[in-house]
Structure 1
Amino acid sequence: MTRAITVGLDGSPESRAAAEWAAREAVLRSVPLRLLHVRRPGPSPEAQPADRWVSMPRETAEGLRLRHPGLEVTHEQIDGMPYEVLTKAAEDAEMLALGSRGLGSFGGFLVGSVGLVVVAHAERPVVLVRAGEQAADEHEPDPAGIPSAATRYRPVLLGLDADRPREPVIDFAFEEAQRRGTALRVVHGWALPPYYVYGLAAAPDVYHDIAREQAENLTRVLAPWREKFPEVEVVEESFGGSPSVRLVEASAEASLVVVGRRTRRNPLGAHIGAITHAVMHHGAAPVAVVTHG
């Protein structure tokens, strides 16, 4: 059975942007698109009129079919708690797309409580799309300097810990770059071991030696994927420090940002790592969070 890309739809500008992004992704993957409208139990009829409850997802589906001829689009309404319904729906989905509010003129996301819970618990990739996201935003500017859906895709950006590489995350990023016919920019930040820090003033070459080793390690880690995806141009970036700021800055020139989240099953629930959390909230492009063991 072919998995569909599922979108959490609530009628907001954020969710409409997520639906548009998901439709473009479904076309790239040749898979169906499923719009899922979740209604919280208990709202008054005035707060959510029955006709609006029924017509909004249908109208959204019709618009997507017109803009993407040949795309199979279905829509469904379910009563329940959004984070529970969406997390469950992600189990059978190719991926789940959710909308997130922009953080003003610098771009980025404001990830609500539902989005955070879903990202923390879903075991399929979850993509967060900011309000106002357009197809042209994912492409390089045209000769006049204007972003255009007719030009090449901007690079896919991958945040990678080369000391603990996770195959599902790397695979996802390479596949997305290949689908888009664009480059993959890989950012790897590393920290100096504590016992080196105090000796750097006396031995400055130590830093350069470690930097070279880290860069070589990144190249080794990516070598199997370069062979698997020979048509994908790979740009490697290894540096000393946390990758959070570098990823957020680079996201302004990316079509998609890919980060990982470790799957943890314990009584305290699932957690989102600090780097992934920062990119989710401040990235300027759609952010794909991919789980790994």
Structure 2
Amino acid sequence: MGQHIQGKLEGKTAIITGAAAGLGEGIAEVYAKYGANICMVDLSPDVEHTAARIRGLHPDARIITITANVADKAQMIDAAKRTADTFGTIDIACCNAGVCRLAPFEDMTDEMRDFHIDVNIKGVWNSCQAVIPYMLANGGGSIVIASSVTGDIVADAGEAAYAMTKAALVGLTKCLAVEYADRHIRVNCSQLGYARTPMVEKMAIESNPADPESAIRDIAAGVPMKRLAKPTEVGELFAFLGSDESSYITGAQMVIDGGSTLPETMSIGTN
């Protein structure tokens, strides 16, 4: 049975996108641990099964689920309204929903490019526009955007659309942080390296169809900590940025990558 930890997110209401699996599931689990009221949003109806699992870990958790597409602004406005109608307000938005498909740049279709833009950029844009009116009415709030080390710091071949869209979220984070600072809405972004999620597993299959696990092992080998992140470790960062513990942090880019972007080479040095 999961332990309910008093404080931190007690009494706060959070909307979490992309919550059916992977990072969103990890974020929701940690938010439940810290006592938040949660709306879990995902395009997949599996989000309800995920919520049931989290309720099993934290029986006192107050969770609703909504099946919605972040790329559809009207659906996100409705999700925000239903969240506020249920819990009274919205204090935190975890804009986590995202997609990544790999392809050589010369083979990347306009449809694939636009798919990334629709979910990764417009999805965050829509989510922010949906929740900010409630935060303004409530006197403030916190928005946590899932960017990436990819695009802003590093990139691999075949990631053009993903890198472009995730880098764009850093600019959005900084602008919104400045624009709403005097109205007590903080906006920060996480920059994750690799976590063991369904999205990363799909990328491993695209990278090495014959042996995707070897691609996962190779990722871990390049990380100084020699492993991928757990989704709940990312959830802890989102909980910190959503809570009053980070009350003087806004416009920040928080790298969480086990040190993977630190080595200058893989062959030079004393280790």
Sort the TM-score into its range (normalised by shorter chain). 0.3 to 0.5
Between structures 1 and 2, the one with greater strand share:
1
Provide TM-score, normalisation by structure 2: 0.37
Q: TM-score, normalised by structure 1?
A: 0.34
Larger radius of gyration: 1
